[in-house]
Chains A and B, each alone.
Chain A
Amino acid sequence: MFARLANGNVAPNRVIEGQATNLSRTMHGIAYDDVNDEIVIPVALSGAILTFKGDAKGEVPPIRAIQGTRTRLVRPHTVAVDNVNNEILTADPSSRAVMIFDRRANGNVAPKRVISGENTGLLDIVGVAADPLRNVIVAASRKGAEGPTGIFVFDRLANGDVKPKAYIGGPNSKLAHFRQVTIDPETGNIFLAQQNTRMKRPEAYVLDKPREGAGGRNLNDDEDSDEAGDRMDRMGFIAVYAPDDNGDIPPRAIIKGPGVRLAGAAGVALVPKKKEIVAVGGNGFQTFLLPDFFQVFKRPPTSSASKQK
Chain B
Amino acid sequence: MRRIFLSMAAAAVLVLVTGVQTPRATEPGEAANARVSIDELTAEDCLGDAEMMAELQQQFVEGGVIGGDWPKGAIGGVLPPLRSVYDPFPTFDGIALDTDNDRVIMSDENRHALLVYDRAAGSFSNDVTEPVQYIFGPKALLGYIAGVEVDPPRKEFYTVNNDGGDRLVVFDYGMGSGNLQPRRTLSLPHQSWDVSLARTRDEIAVSVQQSNAISIFKRAATNRDAPIRTIRGLATELEDPHGVFFDEKHNEIITANHGNWTQIRPYTPFDPLVTDVGEYKSGAFHPSSITFHGADANGNVPPVRTIEGNLTGLNWPMGIDVDLTHDEIAVANYGDSSVRVFARAGRGNEQPTRVIRGAATQIVGPVSVAVDVKNDEIWVANYGDHTAVVFPRTANGNVRPKRIVRNAPVNTPTCGFTNASAAAYDSKRDAILVPN
Footprint of B on A, CB under 8 Å?
1-15, 17-19, 22, 24-32, 34, 37, 39, 41, 43-48, 54-55, 59, 67-69, 71-75, 78, 93-97, 108, 116-118, 123-124, 142-144, 149, 174, 179-180, 197, 199-200, 202-211, 214, 216-220, 223-235, 237, 240, 250-259, 262-263, 266-271, 273, 276, 278-290, 292-293, 299, 302
Using A22-B285, A179-B422, A263-B16 as known contacts, say yes or no to A234 and B64 having CB atoms under 8 A apart: yes
Q: Which of B67-75, B324-332, B370-378 lies at the binding interface?
A: B67-75
Chain A residues within 8 Å of B89, by CB:
9
A235 in complex: contacting residue of B65, B334, B434, CB < 8 Å: B65
Is B427 interfacial (CB-CB < 8 Å)? yes
Chain A minimum-CB-distance residue to B271 = A206
- Complexed CA–CA distance, A203 and B422 (Å): 22
Q: Which of B181-189, B346-354, B355-363, B398-406 contacts A (4 or more CB under 8 A)?
A: B181-189
3 tightest CB-CB pairs across the interface, nearest first? A47-B283, A233-B64, A250-B71
Bound CA–CA A244/B69 (angstroms): 24
Q: A67-B283, A202-B270, A258-B17 are in contact. Are A30 and B434 (CB under 8 A)?
A: yes
Instruction: Verify A287–B81 contact, CB threshold 8 A.
Output: yes
> In whole Å, how far is A223's beta carbon from the nearest beta carbon of chain B?
7
B414 and A11 contact, CB distance less than 8 A:
yes
Cα–Cα distance between A253 and B123 once the two chains are bound (Å)? 52
Residue of A at shortest CB range from B56?
A258
A15 touches B416 (CB 8 A): yes
Interface string of B241-282 (1 = CB under 8 A from A): 000000000000000001111111111111101110000111
B27 partner residues in chain A, CB cutoff 8 A: none
Contact of B187 with A285 in the complex, beta carbons under 8 Å = no
Q: Which residues of A lie under 8 Å from residue B45 when comparing CB positions? A: 7-9
Residue of B nearest to A300 (CB): B73
- B280 contact from A9, A41, A69, A293, Cβ within 8 A: A69
Residue numbers in B under 8 Å from A19 (CB-CB): 258-259, 287-288, 314-316, 335
Min Cβ gap B401→A in Å is 21
Residues of B within 8 A of A95 (CB): 265, 275
CB distance from A296 to the nearest CB of B (A): 13
> Beyond A232-B60, A250-B71, is A6–B283 a contact (Cβ under 8 Å)?
no
Chain A residues whose CB sits within 8 angstroms of the CB of B57 once the complex forms: 257-259
Q: When the two chains form their complex, are residues A5 and B83 in contact, meaning their CB atoms are under 8 A apart?
A: yes
Query: Is B47's beta carbon under 8 Å from chain A?
Result: yes
A203:B268 contact, CB within 8 angstroms: yes
Identify A283's interface contact among B167, B418, B429, CB under 8 A: B418
The reply to whether A9 and B86 form a contact with Cβ atoms under 8 Å apart is yes
Q: Is there contact, CB below 8 Å, between A46 and B432?
A: no
A259 closest partner in B (C-beta): B81
